[in-house]
């Protein structure tokens, strides 16, 4: 069974049952001690792309928005026991041409990492039909949607577990903002907390 460590802000580590290590949007928190097989970056803002925190294995793969959104086409890649599909991410502060979210499949679980975004019709048109197990959504209310809109988006997407992240710009976590995220299937994770998927 895969394990997911919420490191804080939008930074997440997932380790598959086979020991394959994936990091998403490195920026802050603990838990960068495992060398990476896979590193995902949703966009090139400084609170999402501190790749120097991650030690890559010799055969490790880094996937960024520039490699996963090519000429307007969203790409899908396989990396060991992970399948990574880029999907749209956008709002007034994040240009859709340079930002992506990811649907990651590992150990039979489907996880949506939204990147920085606000509501998109894609949530209804596509993600709501995917049978997602987890959805991680930003809710800082400054550069992204706030917690109330994020909760509405979570209910549209309909994942089995909806997790508020990116709760305050530049900080690990703001519990008072996270607690305003009241989706039907909310799962609150705090920095340093690890769960089995």
* Residue 119: strand, helix, or coil: coil
Identify the pLDDT of residue 161: 98
Instruction: Indicate if the alpha-carbon torsion angle 173, 25, 92, 133 is positive or negative.
Output: negative
Residue 170 has pLDDT above 90, yes or no: no
Q: What is the pLDDT of residues 39-58, one digit of tens each?
A: 999 999 999 999 999 999 99
Identify the pLDDT of residue 23: 98
| Chain mean pLDDT for the chain | 97
- The radius of gyration computed from the CA coordinates of the chain, to the nearest angstrom, equals 15
Domain span at residue 38? 3-196
Is residue 88 within 8 Å of residue 100, measured between CB atoms?
yes
Give the number of domains in the chain. 1
Q: What is the pLDDT of residues 3-51, one digit of tens each?
A: 999 999 999 999 999 999 999 999 999 999 999 999 999 999 999 999 9
Measured CA to CA, the distance from residue 49 to residue 74 in angstroms comes to: 20
Identify the pLDDT of residue 66: 96
Measured CA to CA, the distance from residue 152 to residue 86 in angstroms comes to: 22
Whichever domain contains 142, its CATH number is 3.60.15.10
Q: What is the pLDDT of residues 89-136, one digit of tens each?
A: 999 999 999 999 999 999 999 999 999 999 999 999 999 999 999 999
């Amino acid at each position: 069974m895969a394990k997911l460590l919420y490191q804080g802000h939008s930074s997440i580590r997932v380790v598959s049952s086979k020991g394959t290590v994936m990091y998403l949007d490195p920026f802050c928190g603990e838990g960068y001690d495992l060398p990476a097989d896979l590193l995902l970056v949703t966009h090139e803002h400084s609170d999402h792309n501190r790749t120097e925190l991650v030690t890559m294995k010799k055969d490790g793969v880094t996937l960024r928005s520039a490699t996963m959104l090519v000429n307007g086409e969203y790409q899908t890649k396989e990396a060991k026991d992970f399948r990574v599909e880029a999907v749209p991410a956008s709002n007034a502060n994040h240009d859709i041409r340079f930002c992506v979210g990811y649907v990651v499949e590992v150990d039979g679980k489907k996880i949506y990492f939204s990147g920085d975004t606000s509501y998109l019709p894609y949530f209804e048109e596509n993600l709501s039909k995917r049978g997602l197990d987890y959805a991680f959504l930003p809710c800082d209310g400054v550069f992204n949607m706030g917690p109330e809109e994020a909760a509405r988006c979570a209910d549209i997407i309909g994942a089995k577990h909806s997790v508020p992240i990116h709760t305050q710009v530049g900080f690990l976590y703001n519990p008072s903002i996270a607690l305003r995220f009241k989706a039907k299937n909310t799962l609150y994770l705090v920095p340093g907390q690890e769960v089995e998927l």
